[in-house]
Amino acid sequence: MSELWQLGAAELGGLIQCGEASSREVIHSHLDRIDEINPKVNALTVVLRESAIESANKVDRRLKRRENIGPLAGIPVTIKENQDLIGSATTLGLKPLKDAVADTNSPHIAELLDAGAIPIGRTSMPEFGMRWHTSNALIGATKNPWDSTLTPGGSSGGEAAAIASGMSPLGIGNDGAGSLRWPAQCCGIAALKPSHGRVSVASANKTSQPIPFAFQLLGVHGPMARKIADLRLCFRHMCANSSGDPFHTRAPFDGENLKLPMRVGIALTPGDREPHPDITKALRTTALQLEDAGYVIEEVDLPDLNRASEIYTQIMSSFGRLTAETQRAPVGLISEEYDQFWAEFFEPWEAAAGETTHDPMMERAVIAQTWSKLMDKFPLILAPIATQPAWKTGSDLDREFNTTWLESIRSVVAVNLLGLPSVALPIGVVDGLPHGVQIVGQRFREDLCLEAAEAVESRLQPISPIEPRL
């Protein structure tokens, strides 16, 4: 029989609900795993040991009294440190914010807690969440459990590493430029980037800064897990509360039935560069599994991909700061490594904006129309996450690398620009390393993305959790 820490969230919930395992046993199994693994991987910044045990005991007492408990009751969850959890610091990966304890839960976190989820720890992220590798001055670098010389991704790299190594069955991260999907690719797990407006990004915490327009438009909170069923379970308990988010939309979880067989467009060469051969292999493997499940696969070109990346960059550059004057973080606020990263990244980032438009939202709407026409024919798009595998740590401290990196994630940021849902799913191991792809859907059709991802998952062998190879 598998250890409890090896099971998925839905499996654990089923065991707790039917009395085959207590919530206390589940929580202690994960706490023991954290004690063993986190000193090696450095993914969790804080372990919420006492509160997690107390919450588990409450769940067990309620079950003993035969009371109804929530659908996530007793299931441990980890939470990235840029989301508010009462009694825990929302650090944004910044050392000066290590004592910025939240007095209010973020709306989606409050909903998860109402459904019974038990926070077991907070996970690391790069400073401000503005890097594709997870390291900060608070705790240092997070290790990729598959290979410590490679990045675990960012900015939700702490979550991805924790889930891949069995410290958590379920995590909550966010994605403004692939920050859920890229770490999922690096660490061999699954993630759901919901549609824009699905999950509130508002914050009522008194110590929180206002949310810049770019992050309101391009960023979204989402779940990470090892299994697609766990993404679905968690996602259904994150979307109800707007808390003042002007973009929040209460759309049904299950959309209208579409004509079958469903057509899936596969983007084998998005942008100007051929993907790494291992990425192409993962795409073709996924296509074969989808065909076996009854989907029809046809190669497509993603329209206006380069311009979509440029418009994304212009919006984030112009409207991703608290003030017009903010360009570089003040000395002492960030680590030397992050400062070095930004010094080597700034020039490629400016160049990636392309020709400046007087109205980026107008061009966004035009690009959205071209994608909408494509997706009327192909309700799902199979595409790379990044067109290259997890890279050696320190690679993003090189200016030339950053230019090629921005080119490799064009299909990722186009999804953010257009507010589309996407599921990242692992597709096997090549030369000892995991590889993954994304399945992109029409807005508010997370259900189609999840169904397709689950069809692929059911035809492949699971690749995590793993023992860290450090």
User: If you write DSSP's letter for every residue of 71-103 in order, what string do you get?
Assistant: TTTT-EEEEETTS--BTSB--TT-GGGTT-BBS
Position 331 scores a pLDDT of 58
DSSP assignment string, 453-470: HHHHHTTS----S-----
Active site residues: 80, 155, 179
Position 332 scores a pLDDT of 65
Task: Show the low-confidence residues of the chain (pLDDT under 70).
Answer: 1, 207, 323-332
- How many other C-beta atoms can be found within 10 angstroms of the C-beta atom of residue 260? 9
What does the alpha-carbon distance between residue 208 and residue 218 come to, in Å, rounded to a whole number? 19
What does the alpha-carbon distance between residue 286 and residue 266 come to, in Å, rounded to a whole number? 10
DSSP E strands, 69-198: 76-80, 118-123, 135-136, 140-141, 170-175, 190-193
- Region of 42 (left: φ > 0; alpha: ψ -120 to 50; beta: rest) is left
pLDDT tens digits, residue range 344-385?
999 999 999 999 999 999 999 999 999 999 999 999 999 999
- pTM score, whole prediction: 0.97
> Do 367 and 417 touch, CB atoms closer than 8 A?
yes
Burial of 104 (0-12, 13-18, 19+ CB in 10 A): middle
| Residue appearing with tokens 């509160």 | 51
Asked if CATH classification 3.90.1300.10 holds for the domain at 4-457, the reply, yes or no, is yes
What does the alpha-carbon distance between residue 192 and residue 415 come to, in Å, rounded to a whole number? 12
Query: Any idea where the domains of the chain sit in the sequence?
Result: 4-457
Position 194 scores a pLDDT of 98
